[in-house]
Amino acid sequence: MNNCQTALAAALLAGVALAIPAHAQSPEEVAAAALDAAPVWDGHNDTPIQLRGRRGNVLEGFDFHDTQAEPGWGGAGESAMHTDLPRLEQGRVGAQFWSVFVSVNTTEAEAVQATIEQIDVTKRLIEAYPEDLRLALTANDVQATMDDGKIASLLGMEGGHSIGSSLAVLRQMYNLGARYMTITHSANTPWADSATDDPEHDGLSEFGVQVIREMARLGMLIDLSHVSEATMLDAMDATDAPVIFSHSGARAVNGHSRNVPDNVLARLPRQGGIVMVVGLPDYLSEAHRIWYAARHAERARLQAWWRGEPEKVSAGLSEWDAANPMPLATISDMADHVDHIREVAGIDYIGLGGDYDGMATGPVGMEDVSGYPALFEELARRGYSQQDLEKIASRNMMRVMREAEAYAAAQARMKPIESPVN
């Protein structure tokens, strides 16, 4: 073979090599690689209120390695818990905001005490499992803990009623370790409107604006899940610090008032922040939301028709249920919310906040905390890259927390906001 023939053969071989496609990763492989590189940072888990309701915050005899047999405590709590250490590992959770929620059906003074009790039980839970959990107060703490193969455990207050309308209490909650506060829960506070209550303030009151600014000064994340659209916009106007939605969906996909409207999503790129997509079926599936509203209306009709005869109301509702099966939310529904937030705000503003142990169940296939890999596989099937999935898993939330810390550091010379007490 002469030199020309040799060169031609080499070129042909090179062409054949180029024509052979490289091994394409499956969606499962893409998802697994993403979660290996960036474990899930979940924005909201209600295990602490389960401990209060089921056990009165007594940890003696509680086994966080197996919560399946925990006794029920009424309502949705009759079901098994969604969270324990083995399932967190299966779900590839590397950082968790534990919600130190207390009921809105308390006085403000009672709420302050109960919130401190919830902080206490959550810290005791973390301390009881040092091989698995570690308290995290900063982004660096989170990163170091995940690097050590443990679950970084952060505290989030759910509802501004937890501070008793006091900036002093807000500051002390931060000192106790709370790193976000959801501005309202299901009802208005004296200074902010909830998404699910009749508006009183058209968003934030003057004191509410002070709360937002003091949170930003401290470096406490401003959580706008549960608040009205007007409150969202007022909070974003009150500060340049990033905001979070610890467990919400996209309102364009599901019209529930708890979800985030597009005009707010569109502000996230310039405001900074994140929407951590929730797993609660009523917020995910529009069909489920419509069914729930219709069932609620049917119950009200039966109660009006059969006043003082609850057995007939119950029988009528059972008949309605038999004729109208509840639509089930799916992993695909949850991925639809991720798709929409990416379309409006961008890939850098998406996270996950399951709301496990704060609802009856997650969507089909993600009924508990072990289900996160299935969501990442669905997103990979939809064309999300490994880099995209790493951002959704935890890199976006890490950026947001670092931005909040940087904002607070820039305000270091600013004195605490003072507000007169009664």
Asked if residue 220 and residue 362 are part of one domain, the reply reads: yes
Q: Is the pLDDT of residue 13 over 80?
A: no
Least confident of 5-19, 183-197, 201-215, 334-348: 5-19
> Is the pLDDT at 278 greater than 50, yes or no?
yes
Rounded to an integer, the average pLDDT of 95-120 is 98
Is the overall model pTM greater than 0.85, yes or no?
Answer: yes
Q: Are residues 391 and 256 part of one domain?
A: yes
Whether 17 has a pLDDT exceeding 50, the answer reads no
Do 94 and 208 lie in one domain? The reply is yes
Domain of residue 226 covers 33-285+328-410
The neighbour count for residue 170, using CB atoms within 10 Å, is: 26
The whole-number average pLDDT for the span 270-294 is 96
Question: What are the pLDDT digits (tens) for 381-403?
Answer: 999 999 999 999 999 999 999 99
The answer to which of 10-19, 165-174, 285-294, 321-330 has the lowest mean pLDDT is 10-19
For the beta carbon of residue 71, count every other beta carbon within 10 angstroms. 8
Assigned token pair, 53: 């309701």
Give which of 251, 30, 47, 241 is closest to 154, Cα–Cα.
47
Same domain, 215 and 321: no
Q: Is residue 109 domain-resident?
A: yes
Q: How confident is the model at residue 20 (pLDDT cuts 50, 70, 90)?
A: very low
Q: How many domains does the chain have?
A: 2
User: Is 215 part of a structural domain of the chain?
Assistant: yes
Same domain, 299 and 388: no
Tell me the pLDDT band of 5, cut-offs 50, 70 and 90: low
Q: For residue 415, tell me if it sits in a domain.
A: no
Q: What is the mean pLDDT of residues 335-341?
A: 99
Instruction: Count Cβ atoms below 10 Å from residue 132 Cβ, excluding itself.
Output: 17
Q: Alpha-carbon distance 215 to 414, whole Å? A: 13
Name 54's Cβ contacts closer than 8 Å, sequence gap at least 6. 70, 71, 72, 73, 77
Same domain, 63 and 196: yes
- Please report where in the chains the tokens 């004195």 appear, as a residue: 415
Q: What is the pLDDT of residue 279?
A: 98
Nearest to 46 by CA among 359, 368, 365: 359
- CA atoms lying within 13 Å on the CB side of residue 133: 21
Residue 246, both tokens: 């610890």
- Tokens 């880099």 correspond to 387
* Cα separation, 101 vs 45, whole angstroms: 10
User: Is 388 a domain residue?
Assistant: yes
Tell me the backbone φ, ψ of residue 157, rounded to 5 degrees: -85, 135
Q: Average model confidence (pLDDT) for the chain? A: 94
pLDDT tens sequence across 229-275 = 999 999 999 999 999 999 999 999 999 999 999 999 999 999 999 99
Specify the DSSP class assigned to residue 107. Answer: -
pLDDT of residue 76: 45
State pLDDT tens for residues 68-79: 878 776 544 467
Q: Which of 17-31, 122-136, 286-300 has the lowest mean pLDDT?
A: 17-31
Q: Quick one: average pLDDT of 21-40?
A: 91
Q: pLDDT at position 73, please?
A: 60
Is there a domain that residue 421 lies in? no
Q: Are residues 40 and 164 in the same domain?
A: yes
Cβ count near 317 (within 10 Å)? 16
Residue 304 has which token pair?
Answer: 């009006």
Q: Do 276 and 195 fall within a single domain?
A: yes
User: What CA–CA distance (Å, rounded) separates 259 from 247?
Assistant: 9
Alpha helices in 43-166 (DSSP H): 47-55, 85-90, 108-128, 139-147
177 and 307 inside one domain: no
* 244 plus 147 within the same structural domain: yes
- Whole-angstrom distance between the N-terminal and C-terminal Cα of the chain? 99
In a domain, 37, yes or no: yes
The kind and range of the H/E element at 277 are strand 273-277
Last residue of a domain, one of 263, 298, 326: 326
CATH number at residue 200: 3.20.20.140
Q: Which pLDDT score is estimated for 78?
A: 60
- Answer yes or no: do 106 and 184 share one domain: yes
**Any idea which residues carry the catalytic annotation?**
44, 46, 158, 185, 226, 247, 355
What tokens does 12 get?
Answer: 């042909």
Percent of the chain with pLDDT over 70: 93
Mean pLDDT of 3-19: 47
Of 134, 115, 125, 228, nearest to 181 by C-alpha is 115
- What percent of the chain clears pLDDT 90, i.e. is strictly above it? 91
Q: Does the residue 365 lie in any domain?
A: yes
Long-range contacts at 367-370 (CB < 8 A, ≥ 24 apart): 367/82, 368/82, 368/83, 368/87, 368/91, 369/42, 369/45, 369/82, 369/83, 369/87, 369/88, 369/90, 369/91, 369/93, 370/87, 370/88, 370/90, 370/91
Question: Which pLDDT does position 4 carry in this prediction?
Answer: 47
Residue (of 154, 173, 158) closest to 401 by Cα position: 154
Confidence bin at 163 (pLDDT 50/70/90) = very high
Listed range (78-87, 110-119, 203-212) with the worst mean pLDDT:
78-87
Residue pointed to by tokens 């909040």:
404
Q: Same domain for 51 and 70?
A: yes
Taking only the tens place, the pLDDT of each residue in 178-206 is: 999 999 999 999 999 999 999 999 999 99
Q: For CA atoms 330, 333, 335, 338, give the dihedral sign.
A: negative
Identity of the amino acid at 350: I
Kindly state whether residue 20 falls inside one of the protein's structural domains.
no
Q: How far, in Å, CA of 93 to CA of 152, rounded?
A: 9
